[in-house]
Amino acid sequence: MRDPQPMKNFLLLGAFALILVGCQPSDDYVEPERKVVSFEGATDDRLVGAWKTADGKGEYNFKADGSFALMSKVTTPSGAIDSKSNGQWKVKDGQLLIKNQNGNVVPYKLTVADKSVTLALTGSLKNEVKLNRK
């Protein structure tokens, strides 16, 4: 009876080689163009102040100087963790523009009611957050 170990080694080496070759980027790959959102606009007095998410898991504080703070509970498989972020905000053409500490600008469709605000993400990350005045 022949020793099967050399065949196993050969198959493992072949699988490893396929993984290495298969993971190489193609010369034909073109990086998709990212849409850059400009951070232009002004603060809006209707938003200045403290807001709480409808589910009670987050709090926004929009300041008159254009800065904001967000404190929230993020659910993870191992339980909820506290998350804090800061940045700048502006409003333009019915959108709330949030600029984080890394300089990334996220546009939200903005709907303002008497004591509530709705922020909606569009595109592939569709999400809607309702905020109530604290």
Asked if residues 72 and 57 have their Cβ atoms less than 8 Å apart, the reply is yes
Task: Name residue, tokens 């996220």.
Answer: 106
| Residue 17 pLDDT | 47
Per-residue confidence in pLDDT tens, the chain, 134 aa: 555 555 555 555 545 544 545 555 556 666 666 677 899 999 999 999 999 999 999 999 999 999 999 999 888 899 889 999 999 999 999 999 999 999 999 999 999 998 999 999 977 778 899 999 99
Beta bridge partners of 106: 98
pLDDT in the model for residue 18: 46
The pLDDT of residue 125:
76
CATH number of residue 61's parent domain? 2.40.128.280
Q: How many domains does the chain have?
A: 1
pLDDT of residue 37: 83
Please check whether residue 63 lies inside any domain of the structure. Answer: yes
The enclosing H or E element of 43 equals none
Residue 33 lies in a domain: no
Q: CA 37 to CA 19: how far, in whole Å?
A: 38
Task: Please check whether residue 73 lies inside any domain of the structure.
Answer: yes
Structural domain that includes position 105: 49-133
